[in-house]
Structure 1
Amino acid sequence: MTSPSSVYGDQVRANYRRLSQAIPGFRPRREQNFLVAEIGKVLLGRHDPGRRILVAEAGTGIGKSLAYLQAAIPWARLNHKTLVISTATLALQEQLVGKDLPLFQPHCQPPFHFVLAKGRARYCCAHRLQALAEGQGQLGLFEAAGELTPAQQAQVAELWQALAGQRWAGDRDSWPAPIDDGLWQQLQTERHSCQPQLGHGHCPFHRARAELERADVIVANHALLLADLAMGGGVILPEPEQCLYVLDEAHHLPHIARDQGSARLALGQGRRALEQFNKQLPALAALLDEEGRRALDLLQQALQQLIPSLNRLYQALQGEVRQGRLTPDEQGCLRFAAGELPPLLEQGLGTIKEEQKTLRRALDRLQGQLAEGLKRQPGNGALASAMAAVGLQQLHGEQAAALCELMQKPAGPRHTPPARWLECQRQDIILCATPLAVGHLLEQWCWSRAAAVIMVSATFTALNDFGYFRRAVGLRADDGSHYLRLNSPFDYGRSHLIIPPLAGEPTDPGFDDLLAEEIPRWLEGQAASLVLFSSYRQMNQVAEALRRRGLSLLVQGEAGRQALLTLHRMKCDGGQPSVLFGTGSFAEGLDLPGHYLTNLIITKLPFAVPTSPVEEAMAEWITLCGGNPFMQLTVPEASRKLVQACGRLLRTETDQGRIVLLDRRLLTRRYGRALLDALPPFHRQTGRPG
């Protein structure tokens, strides 16, 4: 009898054979084949049958996306699982959906169907669009339609006709013309306004959701995936137990998970929203029976308790700030050191937390009564609109409860406390909290539940070690997860890494002036250059100085990213020298192969200064635990970012050029050797341009 593993192996090999024969000039890649084999071993449970998790660092040029498609799709199909491929960037999503999956699909057995998953906010609500198109003044019982310009009115009519005529799927991305943000906010689908009792036959989001349920392969982004997992999984995407996850660009997971775990509560805005909602509640009485009106009374009583409590806490905090007992910084931010809250905030949140519980019970009870009414009167727009309004308050209540939970969460001796702070704005005080350690969340949401997880990236390791990433995502060295590191097949020795012996360092006061003197020397005679800066301020100051000398520059921020890159490529194709100036966002995901980039200048090591409350809190916690935040956080993260930045130079096997690092600390500081050793094996040299 043929074993499942041999059937899987036969399919992978047969698919590879068909694919290689169909691609003109196909050349086998040893590292790519090795990655396919290692993914297969993990999926088959050869390393650990109870922990099918792989963390694979695959250098540029390996072809990791085609590798994981070859290994993952047959396993998922044979095991009746859905393959969910999640990325951090739109560019990689477009590559997968527009190029890699269509390339592999004709040659794959078993066959598969793939779709792109998007969040609710990318789809219009058919009911709201129809209401706007018909000129109704209300989008719902409690929501007035905004004023539309003649151009917006014409676009709304066009959108509705296309949706009603089934010529448009209802998603923002597939409409050929731009849709104004303000208009789209009135049209987009929202979780609280989706009522099953209305039926979803004409809802663009739910039609797309039904398509996801039929798909074998779903392409999503990390934010959507983690939002779904945070809600328990199975809300938008399939449940984790039914999924094989391939997480590409997975080094982004920790900070996206932190964002998903964060919570905010605007005291002033929250109070005003509840007051407005309370004023509108009497209009509901006519829609309700006797039991429903009792639920409405309980809700109004809960609001009469919570609204004054929000106001008292807002006024008390405002008074503390005015009297100087609480001192926000210049940006209006005040972080609570070691996560310790002032007594008045602790007490105020305790009261709000209990009153929020009462409010949420009342909202749930009223929502149940409205749902019963809608069952008796299907299609009743007023009831559906009331459910949407109550649903919005339920959503706000969940967010407020999450904030209270994070703000008041006791810090155990071995547990990292959340970062906690407040932001003072002109008309409001916003309470904020973010978990610093998200590994336990990822373990709870995904690692312990998924059928299998394959994480890939070109930059997992920091200082040649997986430890930094492993700790950030909650994996342990001994938990059965498998780690793999595959170097790029590129010939790095043909390209040069140059560290000039400059007179100063980035921390010196005159470093900007030094860059303005030094950079032109390294641009002279070069056809295609990219200069990476640590800040917009420094980039713009140096750009201004060089333009006064007559240099022609393409500077990030002065035009859209794609427009700048298009102009750069046009100049390179026309034989004109081209110089791009960019900041950190140009150090990742920028693809300029061949003659489009031969001269990369990095002005400063990418050390992040802990300026955000989250970064400050993390550094503080490491210090309190007896550690060194610079060596444990700053240097490893700088190592990862430096590898990423240097990765802009070589994008294909035939590329070559040079990297100029204008930061002599690589040669003079203790950590410099470790940073250099983590870089690919470029031919290293010091000195001035010849």
Structure 2
Amino acid sequence: MSALHYPALHASHSGIWVAQDGVTREVSRGEAIRLAADTPVILLNAPLVGQRLGYPDLSGLDLLELFAFLRPAHFMVPTPKGLAAATGLDVPADDAQVASFLLAAAERLLSVPAGDWPEREGAWTALQSLTRLRWAWAPPLATRIAKPSSQERWLFTRLPEWSEAPPRPAPRTVTMPEGAVLDRLDELTGDGAEPRAGQQRFAAAANAAFMPRSIRDAPNLMLAEAGTGIGKTLGYLAPASLWAEAAGGAVWISTYTKALQRQLSAETRRVYPDEAIRRERVVTRKGRENYLCLLNLEDALQGGFAGRAAVLAQLVARWAAYSADGDMVGGDLPGWLPTLFRRNGSTALTDRRGECVYAGCPHYRKCFIERAARASAEADLVIANHALVMVNAARGREATTRPTRYVFDEGHHLFDAADMMFSTALTGQEAIELRRWIVGPEGASRGRRRGLAARLSDVASYDEAGGTAIADAVRAAGALAADGWLQRLADNQPFGALEALFAAVRGMTFARASGAGDAGYGLETELAEPTPELVEVAASAAEALEALHRPLVVLGRRLEAVLTDAPDWLDAPARARVEGAIASLAWRVETVSAWLALLARVGGPAVPQFVDWLIVNRIEGRETDIGLLRHWLDPTKPFAEIVLRPAHGALVTSATLTAGGDWSTAEARVGATHLQRPADRFEVASPFDYASHAEVLIVTDVKRGDLPALANAYARLIEAAGGGTLGLFTAIRRLRAVHARVADRLAREGLPLHAQHVDPIDTGTLVDIFRDDPHASLLGTDALRDGVDVPGDSLRLVVMEGVPWPKPTVLHAARRLEGGGSAYDDRIVRARLAQAFGRLIRRQDDAGAFVLLSAAMPSRLLDAFPPGVPIRRLTLDEAAQRVAERLSTRGQIGQGAHLPA
């Protein structure tokens, strides 16, 4: 059957339409559901359409799946407009025309195999598997994709192998004149570009981080606050690329968000215009959990996945054959692809549980992760993230290629990244993960996970002491939490020392946590004056963990001895596998040691440098995890000791580095105060005329806690602006409530509304959709407050639901006490307001308004906004009128319209 013989279905908040045989008609929700249940329908983004119909089991011929099969590793915004751009068709004028447009787009996509199709190789082979899986698009594709005349190179034969290289020499000691740095900056900005004095000053200041270090363990640390629009990316790429070439070393450029990683990767094309050279000189690195694991994929393709998950595996395999780097999270895998599958199987295709067998894997030489690690050893520029930099430094990974120069962009996030990295969590879920790593599959559990005994069987047979240590560790792991532990705790029937510990933690938390009667939220209480029961079971848990710790330490020593003995069976792959086991083992030993230190606190004195507390995590009343947490009171202390101190130089930069405080606050937030040599400081203001291009409106008549009034305020402001609105919330519950109340209303006005935590679409794709449509608006939480770069008409209004006060947690209370009480809160709020306002003006001709729905906004916090920006307190009616007068003329803002005072 031709694709045009199937009906097409489109559902939006403004209506539902079906197109078939040249006729489009509007239908009811019930009729649409009956049609989709009885007949295969062509649609765009089945989970989203199913959500709008209230029919989550909706399936059909999803054009996104077809696009992913035909054009793997290609970007497409998953909207009618994005599909039109991908197929070369005209954009449908309104929702009523989308259904018929989908039919035309289907036919255009199905014609791809008849032309010059770059991704032809492997398609026929994959289609045979997809046909057996009864993939909806298999029948129409079967008549269009002919069997190749010769055998296809499929995924595992197509991927290139990496090769070992000799260790890279240490970087040479070089000094770069300021003139050379500015000449490099001129090259990067391009011929004819108007010189920017602020950018030149920034590049010259950044060069200080690349000067030779004069004192051991005292890096050249430069803190640089560069306002939005300075062009700081090219400003630091100039000295970084120049130093890398002259010194023969690598500069690690670390970010906090994946969006900036992608942006940085694109900017490096100015440094290396030749793509082949750029691939050698620039490498993007992320944590292992971001990359496709080829062994997991092979298992999925050979029957490890079933049903729709197996279809996903085939589409991911198509992508992997053409991917640049195998990055499944923020790379060239479409972010919307995994979300098309209800039981998202993409996480099972990555190494999220530390189960890698390294050289024991048959695909080790083709592994995306290993390839990236080796490429970064030879690269000039490594684009990483704060978490990976800290993990590598803390765990001694890649010690022979440890960087000596860092650039930390988005430096205002270093405190939060360090807080997560250097924390300790002794919880049920963490205990289960450790048990599975040691013991392997138990009972009816499936998968390729193997325990220590299976992974190191050759070591056990060769080294008797090593074999005994493995057996002792497996035996001791029986005291850890096991599958079903949450239900056993709910039934008051814990099994083993660790489950008994979590039962006591649960009891004490419920007894002491405030708000315990509200079953919708997680609970926490400080670890102070523990109950006698908790003290007793903590001692038993510590004994159990000691019994586990000892054989793990012994096993690590025996593995090192095997490497030293170098028996005949220890060839290169076996050596690499043992080395990998040593690294993984060291991580687990370190984890158990941290757990033991935390348990020693129960019933003992508090440790001043740490904050310890108990948690019961819950989602909508359902318990998900229980345990004890420990965070550093000042997490920049281990960051400075482990990451900064061994480095020769580091640049920490951000547009809001001092936001919420002064330079002393900034130094404390990035760890500069823990170093022997004081940090250098540099500051350059944004070139944007904020006073003319933006204003802050504080709405005084929306009562806090009144959800209908809050929803009405968002709707009226979005209508007044004609879309282009980023709505920011501090609570997911309120976000969802507002979206449910206003989405249909806005759709009837031709104003699409998208929402994080509501739409079954990943956050990155939501931002892509928002950026692509100046009529659309987007609601979100913290992730959208910091990591969104949407210049132009698509973002002309930012609305915050209220003052973003920090949540009063145990950890926050301790840091608040240490940091000056209310002044500490004020610094956090100022920083959050500055970051949110920073989403509004991203380039010289942007203009817009920032609206805060809070009558209680303290005047002392208004200095969070740029100097000179008009700030007005007014009613909602007045705010909507002012927004309408200045922002609703669609297209003017992107052309440089000013906001009169």
Shorter-normalised TM-score: what interval? 0.7 to 0.9
AA at the equivalent of 1:685 = R
Report how far residue 540 of structure 1 moved: 3.5
Residue aligning to 1:292: 463
Which residue among 581, 591, 608 is the counterpart of 2:789? 591
Alignment of 1:201-240 (within 5 A): 201-235=365-399, 238-240=401-403
Alignment of 1:596-635 (within 5 A): 596-610=794-808, 615-620=809-814, 622-623=816-817, 628-632=820-824, 634-635=825-826
Report how far residue 151 of structure 1 moved: 7.3
Alignment of 1:56-455 (within 5 A): 56-98=224-266, 100-105=267-272, 113-124=281-292, 146-149=304-307, 152=310, 159=317, 172=328, 173=331, 178=337, 182=345, 185=348, 188=351, 190=354, 193-195=357-359, 201-235=365-399, 238-240=401-403, 243-266=404-427, 269=432, 273=436, 292-301=463-472, 303-304=474-475, 307-308=478-479, 311-314=495-498, 316-317=500-501, 320=504, 327=511, 329=516, 330=519, 331=521, 333-338=523-528, 342-364=534-556, 367=559, 375-377=567-569, 395-408=587-600, 415-423=608-616, 429-455=626-652
In structure 1, distance between residues paired with 2:375 and 2:626: 43
The farther-off stretch of 261-270 and 84-93 is 261-270
Secondary structure, aligned partner of 2:686: coil
Structure 1 residue 40 corresponds to structure 2 residue 207 = yes
Residue aligning to 1:533: 729
In structure 1, distance between residues paired with 2:871 and 2:207: 38
The answer as to whether partners of 1:406 and 1:433 remain within 8 angstroms in 2 is yes
- 1:298–1:47 distance in 2 versus 1, CA, 3 Å: closer
Residue aligning to 1:490: 688
In structure 1, distance between residues paired with 2:442 and 2:555: 12
The answer as to whether partners of 1:374 and 1:380 remain within 8 angstroms in 2 is no
In structure 2, distance between residues paired with 1:187 and 1:82: 27
Residue aligning to 2:832: 641
Secondary structure, aligned partner of 1:682: coil
In structure 2, distance between residues paired with 1:418 and 1:518: 40
AA at the equivalent of 1:473 = V
Report how far residue 542 of structure 1 moved: 3.5
The farther-off stretch of 154-163 and 219-228 is 154-163
In structure 2, distance between residues paired with 1:45 and 1:381: 39
The answer as to whether partners of 1:516 and 1:545 remain within 8 angstroms in 2 is yes
Structure 1 residue 52 corresponds to structure 2 residue 220 = yes
In structure 2, distance between residues paired with 1:460 and 1:454: 12
The farther-off stretch of 174-183 and 203-212 is 174-183
In structure 1, distance between residues paired with 2:479 and 2:752: 57
Report how far residue 34 of structure 1 moved: 1.0
Structure 1 residue 582 corresponds to structure 2 residue 751 = no
Residue aligning to 2:16: none
Report how far residue 491 of structure 1 moved: 0.7
Residue aligning to 2:182: 13
AA at the equivalent of 1:77 = E
Report how far residue 461 of structure 1 moved: 1.4
The farther-off stretch of 487-496 and 656-665 is 656-665
TM-score for both structures, normalised by structure 1: 0.79
Task: Report the RMSD for the aligned CA atoms in angstroms.
Answer: 4.6
Report how far residue 127 of structure 1 moved: 5.9
The answer as to whether partners of 2:209 and 2:405 remain within 8 angstroms in 1 is no
Query: C-alpha offsets along residues 372-392 of structure 1, whole Å, 9 cap, x if unaligned?
Result: 899423579999999988986
In structure 2, distance between residues paired with 1:597 and 1:301: 60
The farther-off stretch of 110-119 and 635-644 is 110-119
Structure 1 residue 660 corresponds to structure 2 residue 851 = yes
In structure 2, distance between residues paired with 1:151 and 1:18: 48
AA at the equivalent of 1:269 = I
In structure 1, distance between residues paired with 2:368 and 2:507: 53
The answer as to whether partners of 1:373 and 1:383 remain within 8 angstroms in 2 is no
Residue aligning to 1:141: none
Report how far residue 228 of structure 1 moved: 0.6
AA at the equivalent of 1:609 = K
The answer as to whether partners of 1:83 and 1:246 remain within 8 angstroms in 2 is yes
Report how far residue 70 of structure 1 moved: 1.0
Secondary structure, aligned partner of 2:268: helix
In structure 1, distance between residues paired with 2:398 and 2:576: 24
The answer as to whether partners of 1:599 and 1:659 remain within 8 angstroms in 2 is yes
The answer as to whether partners of 2:752 and 2:776 remain within 8 angstroms in 1 is yes
- 1:121–1:19 distance in 2 versus 1, CA, 3 Å: closer
In structure 2, distance between residues paired with 1:500 and 1:76: 48
Secondary structure, aligned partner of 1:650: coil
Secondary structure, aligned partner of 1:219: strand
In structure 2, distance between residues paired with 1:546 and 1:130: 45
Report how far residue 318 of structure 1 moved: 5.8
The answer as to whether partners of 2:424 and 2:595 remain within 8 angstroms in 1 is yes
- 1:622–1:643 distance in 2 versus 1, CA, 3 Å: closer
Query: C-alpha offsets along residues 475-517 of structure 1, whole Å, 9 cap, x if unaligned?
Result: 22984101222211001121343445624553xx43x344345
Alignment of 1:542-561 (within 5 A): 542-546=738-742, 552-557=751-756, 558-559=758-759, 560=761, 561=763
Report how far residue 118 of structure 1 moved: 3.2
The answer as to whether partners of 1:339 and 1:420 remain within 8 angstroms in 2 is no
AA at the equivalent of 2:463 = G
Query: C-alpha offsets along residues 175-221 of structure 1, whole Å, 9 cap, x if unaligned?
Result: 68957864663664957522489996444433332221211111111
Structure 1 residue 685 corresponds to structure 2 residue 872 = yes
Query: C-alpha offsets along residues 522-570 of structure 1, whole Å, 9 cap, x if unaligned?
Result: 4554334423333333334334444576654513134434665565556
Which residue among 700, 706, 713 is the counterpart of 1:502? 700
- 1:285–1:343 distance in 2 versus 1, CA, 3 Å: closer
- 1:187–1:370 distance in 2 versus 1, CA, 3 Å: farther
Residue aligning to 2:23: none
The answer as to whether partners of 1:120 and 1:191 remain within 8 angstroms in 2 is no
Residue aligning to 1:515: 710
In structure 2, distance between residues paired with 1:565 and 1:322: 39
In structure 1, distance between residues paired with 2:395 and 2:457: 34
Report how far residue 66 of structure 1 moved: 0.4
In structure 1, distance between residues paired with 2:469 and 2:243: 53
Secondary structure, aligned partner of 2:264: helix
Query: C-alpha offsets along residues 52-92 of structure 1, whole Å, 9 cap, x if unaligned?
Result: 11111111111000000112221343333311111111221
Stretches of structure 2 that go unaligned for 5 or more consecutive residues are 1-172, 444-450, 482-494, 883-901
In structure 2, distance between residues paired with 1:291 and 1:157: 43
In structure 1, distance between residues paired with 2:800 and 2:765: 22
Identity between Structure 1 and Structure 2 (%): 22
Query: C-alpha offsets along residues 270-325 of structure 1, whole Å, 9 cap, x if unaligned?
Result: 69645668998888998578763454235434554563587543354366468779
- 1:205–1:38 distance in 2 versus 1, CA, 3 Å: same
Query: C-alpha offsets along residues 318-351 of structure 1, whole Å, 9 cap, x if unaligned?
Result: 6646877963644564433359684224423432
Query: C-alpha offsets along residues 594-616 of structure 1, whole Å, 9 cap, x if unaligned?
Result: 32233333331211222xxxx42
The answer as to whether partners of 2:415 and 2:635 remain within 8 angstroms in 1 is yes
In structure 2, distance between residues paired with 1:368 and 1:585: 43
Stretches of structure 1 that go unaligned for 5 or more consecutive residues are 136-144
